[in-house]
């Protein structure tokens, strides 16, 4: 093997994990994808399995081993709540790793996936929703990201919960009729049944029971239905979600700069994105909106920085260009 340092950036998510092997110049040498990699949502053992599988896949094209890697930077949400780094470090050491393990924020990785500027913003709107302000390459302010119970306004979960509420209120007669109702019933495996027992429609009774029987976060799976349907209720949900995301971004704005957008919610054109832009209004002046699919490139940029390299435009451009051969 070459004596040039090998570095790995990992975008460790609650659904899937991506790892990118690079050298100090930002040249991608391998890319791997595996399962869940966040210990909070997947548990420590399953998350470690996901990260290791992605890293092994990234190493495979070069023939390198974990013992050849100098730096690994996993970028993930909620690292402070995961109980430290032992769940991953112990497994890495067992496979020969003797380098530096440095955890970073998934939002910071999102930011550096599309911008090498020292100052700017990242907004992630997927299952959850959060925004950060970056200054001198570090997070200095954050908005939302407070979880399904207290925040994540405008997120996939937030939209899914609104859809579930709309369907229940439609069946209960306390809200307007909406095409979303049939989508929710089908999603939950409940047949239309208008028979009333003890004052309650049977399909409503069964739907409520099934919704309460699933983990709250699973409501995010309903979110795509709002984008598919054209009725007034679906549009109102999307407009409100877009306005919430704009308000969250506005809360941390402190001047012009790039705004890197990650997650599936704002990636879609239509009512939500339009409402987001309208709500921002004059605040859009001086902002450059950029979208990314994931944070793997940014995690690799952070790995280069940890290794003492330059996390600059040239590094980002090289990573962006060379990773395309592996994806």
Q: Does domain 118-291 have CATH number 3.30.1490.270?
A: no
CA angle 324, 130, 304 (to 5 degrees): 40
The model's pLDDT over 142-181, given as tens digits with 9 standing for 90+, comes to 999 988 889 999 999 999 999 999 999 999 999 999 999 9
Q: Where in the sequence of the chain do the CATH 3.30.420.40 domains occur?
A: 6-114+294-323, 118-291
Supply 128's token pair: 């959850």
Write down the pLDDT at residue 267. Answer: 87
> Which of 148, 219, 231, 232 is closest to 188 using CA atoms?
219
Write down the pLDDT at residue 246. Answer: 97
Assign 1 a pLDDT band (cuts: 50, 70, 90).
very low
pLDDT at 268 over 50: yes
Write down the pLDDT at residue 82. Answer: 55
The residues near 269 (Cβ < 8 Å, ≥ 6 apart) are: none
**How far is Cα 149 from Cα 237, in angstroms, rounded to an integer?**
18
pTM: predicted TM-score of the whole model, two decimal places: 0.88
**How far is Cα 115 from Cα 100, in angstroms, rounded to an integer?**
24
6-114+294-323 CATH fold: Nucleotidyltransferase; domain 5 (3.30.420)
Supply 265's token pair: 């919610």
pLDDT at 50 over 60: yes
Mean pLDDT across the stretch 290-309? Answer: 93
Neighbours of 313 (CB within 10 A): 11
Supply 247's token pair: 């308000």
Supply 275's token pair: 């409402």
**Averaged confidence pLDDT in the chain:** 92
The model's pLDDT over 221-255, given as tens digits with 9 standing for 90+, comes to 999 999 999 899 999 999 999 999 999 999 999 99
The model's pLDDT over 55-82, given as tens digits with 9 standing for 90+, comes to 999 999 999 999 999 999 999 887 665 5
DSSP 8-state code for residue 2 = -
Beta-ladder partners of 8: 21, 72
**How far is Cα 16 from Cα 14, in angstroms, rounded to an integer?**
6
Mean pLDDT across the stretch 29-48? Answer: 87
Contact 59, 21 (CB under 8 A): yes
Supply 33's token pair: 């994808």
The model's pLDDT over 184-202, given as tens digits with 9 standing for 90+, comes to 999 999 999 999 998 999 9
């Amino acid at each position: 093997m070459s004596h040039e340092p090998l570095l790995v950036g990992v975008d460790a998510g609650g659904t899937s994990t991506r790892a990118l092997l690079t050298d100090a110049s930002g040249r991608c040498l391998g890319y791997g994808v595996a399962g869940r990699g966040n210990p909070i949502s997947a548990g420590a053992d399953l998350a470690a399995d996901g990260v290791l599988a992605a890293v092994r896949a990234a190493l495979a094209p070069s023939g390198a081993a974990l013992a050849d890697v100098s730096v690994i930077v996993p970028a993930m949400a909620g690292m402070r709540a995961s109980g430290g780094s032992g769940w991953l470090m112990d497994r890495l050491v067992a496979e020969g790793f003797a380098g530096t393990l440095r955890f970073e924020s998934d939002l910071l990785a999102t930011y550096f996936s599309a911008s090498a500027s020292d100052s700017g913003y990242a907004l992630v709107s997927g299952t959850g929703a959060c925004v950060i302000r970056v200054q001198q390459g570090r997070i200095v302010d954050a908005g939302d990201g407070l979880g399904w119970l207290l925040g994540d306004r405008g997120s996939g979960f937030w939209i899914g919960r609104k859809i579930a509420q709309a369907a229940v209120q439609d069946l209960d007669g306390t809200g307007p009729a909406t095409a979303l109702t049939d989508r929710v019933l089908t999603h939950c495996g409940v047949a239309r049944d208008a028979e009333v027992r003890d004052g309650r429609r049977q399909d409503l009774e069964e739907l409520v029971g099934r919704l309460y029987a699933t983990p709250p976060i699973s409501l995010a799976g309903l979110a795509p239905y709002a984008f598919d349907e054209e009725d007034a209720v679906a549009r109102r949900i999307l407009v409100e979600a877009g306005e919430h995301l704009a308000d969250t971004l506005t809360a941390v704005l402190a001047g012009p700069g790039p705004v890197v957008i990650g997650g599936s919610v704002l990636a879609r054109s239509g009512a939500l994105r339009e409402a987001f832009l309208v709500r921002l209004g004059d605040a859009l002046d001086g902002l450059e909106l950029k979208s990314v699919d994931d944070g793997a490139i940014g995690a690799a940029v952070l790995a280069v920085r940890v290794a003492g390299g330059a996390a600059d435009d040239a590094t980002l451009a090289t990573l962006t260009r060379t990773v395309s051969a592996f994806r």
